Structure 1
Amino acid sequence: MNDFIATEDRALLERHGLASFDALWNLKLQAVDEPNTERGGWSSVYRLDLGEAAYYLKRQSNYLTRSLARPFGEPTFAREFRNIRHYLELGIPALQAAFFAERKSAGERRAVLLTRALDGWQDLSHWLENWPSHGEATRSAVLKACGLLARRLHAAGQMHGCFYPKHIFLKVQGEGFDACLIDLEKTRPLLLGRRDRVKDLEPLLRRATAWREDDLRILLGAYLDDAADLDAWGARLLARQQRKETR
């Protein structure tokens, strides 16, 4: 895969001397959290502020994922970058990539992924923390935005695989909200129709413990084409949730 630099970000990165793999790999920054070391390598995330723009810089070494198409593995950021680009092509709102490249060096497989910071956005977890304190109009707008995001995702033939509150970002837009997705590593095509759709949505409901039945109906009302299916979908989601919670 060739190095990628987004047209909109090239001039800024060049002006700061950061338009190459080596420059981004060697940049001294403070990590925003503890590195992940689960796959025999490491992966870490840093915030990068360049005056008029902000980014998150992700670097990893020997942090690989394997699949039938790539049995010997590839950096997880390579898969995430492909999915970011695929979401863009499909019109699914998601985080945006500014730079991606990978290298093999001294027995290491390294990757760099630079994404634009979602400043001005808040993840759904933020809204769930004090859910009852938000006005009815705000709660309804959040639920509708999440339902419409899921609808666009599944209508495009994709399932996210980690449709959790911390991966759904929201921004106030007029009287409603825009919504987008992050963490696209586990995205895959919808293969089993309704079964995959239920599988994708149910983890959100299991984690959004502040939501009640009326909230679910608002979310499903935005998600479904036919309101007549609302009760059946609600029953399927709750049944799967109960099975998961009793395991």
Structure 2
Amino acid sequence: MSSAPFIAVNAEAILRRHGLTSFAALWDLDAELVDEPNRARGGISRVSRLRLADEQGQEQVFYLKRQSNYLIRTLRHPLGQSTVAREFQNIKTCARLCIPALDVAFFGERRQNGELQAILLTRDLEGYAPLDYWYQRWDELDYRLRQNMISASAALVARLHASKAVHFSLYPKHVFLKPLPDGMGARFIDLEKLRLQHFSRGGFQRDLDALNRRSKEPSRTQRLRFLLSYLGKERVDAEVRRWVARVLKRSARKNKGR
């Protein structure tokens, strides 16, 4: 049994052109795997790259995530929920809050032979690359580009937290950046763990700590510039010092626990 899938308006034509508007068609599709299937949570998750030509012959690239019994259990879903269902809901939350993230083309679930199967199809972030990609080339980037990347990343995280949302898996590989003629594009990916958190700053500190600990390249001055941009400050003051102390304290505790 399955319910009607979600199909984005701007993806329906190209999916229909290739006969891929049904759950079964996408589930049975032979597509190029991005990496080895992930076997965990009592199930399996596979991610494939899908290249489709539109009416003009232009190639459009999508990422197809297919899961079987790949579940997360929460108080709201004690029997389990597919992780792509949670990610789909969180992407919709980001869209509602005007937080740049992935663009969903298709989402659907079905129960088949005792398994919960789920599909999430998202558009390729054309021209974007994760922060860790840029970090590998950090010394080759000019000063202005590095500053723009720091400012754009900080602004993206600040927008997330201003909306009372926490990523809860904020690593450099989950922040995507794209140089633009008039600035820098920035988006989040991997939103499976995102949650709204209205009454505590603990999650915000956790996000900042995770990003700080996993960011090897930026200098201490550049890290401070990130925090200044995040807080909307032009210079260090008492509030900035408090935030530096909080993040460093959490980082020290995490490093000690390794």
TM-score (norm 1): 0.96
> In the alignment, what sits opposite 2:112?
105
- The 3-state SS of whatever aligns with 1:161 is coil
Say whether 1:234 aligns with 2:244.
Answer: yes
Q: 1:74 Cα deviation (Å)?
A: 1.3
Uncovered stretches (5+) of structure 2, i.e. residues with no partner: none
Q: 1:21 Cα deviation (Å)?
A: 0.3
> In the alignment, what sits opposite 2:24?
22
State the distance in 1 between where 2:72 and 2:233 align: 39
Say whether 1:8 aligns with 2:10.
Answer: yes
The answer to whether the 8 Å contact 2:82/2:116 transfers is yes
State the distance in 2 between where 1:205 and 1:130 align: 18
Read off the aligned partner of 2:140 and give its amino acid letter: S
State the distance in 1 between where 2:126 and 2:11 align: 16
RMSD of the TM alignment (CA)?
1.3
Q: 1:225 Cα deviation (Å)?
A: 3.4
Which has the higher mean CA deviation after the structures are superposed, 166-175 or 224-233? 224-233
Which has the higher mean CA deviation after the structures are superposed, 88-97 or 188-197? 188-197
Read off the aligned partner of 2:135 and give its amino acid letter: L
1:97-246 equivalences under 5 Å are 97-227=104-234, 228=237, 229-246=239-256
> In the alignment, what sits opposite 1:59?
66
The answer to whether the 8 Å contact 1:145/1:177 transfers is yes
The answer to whether the 8 Å contact 1:205/1:211 transfers is no
- The 3-state SS of whatever aligns with 1:45 is strand
Identity of aligned residues (%): 44
State the distance in 2 between where 1:244 and 1:234 align: 15
Q: How many residues align?
A: 247
Q: 1:212 Cα deviation (Å)?
A: 2.1
Read off the aligned partner of 2:123 and give its amino acid letter: R
The answer to whether the 8 Å contact 1:163/1:200 transfers is yes
The answer to whether the 8 Å contact 2:32/2:50 transfers is no
> In the alignment, what sits opposite 1:37?
39
- The 3-state SS of whatever aligns with 2:35 is coil
Q: Which runs of 4+ in 1 moved over 4 A?
A: none
Change (3 A) 1:185 1:20: same
- 1:120-141 deviation per Cα after TM superposition (whole angstroms, max 9, x unaligned): 1111011111323322111111
Uncovered stretches (5+) of structure 1, i.e. residues with no partner: none
Read off the aligned partner of 2:30 and give its amino acid letter: K
State the distance in 1 between where 2:92 and 2:202 align: 26
Q: 1:191 Cα deviation (Å)?
A: 4.1
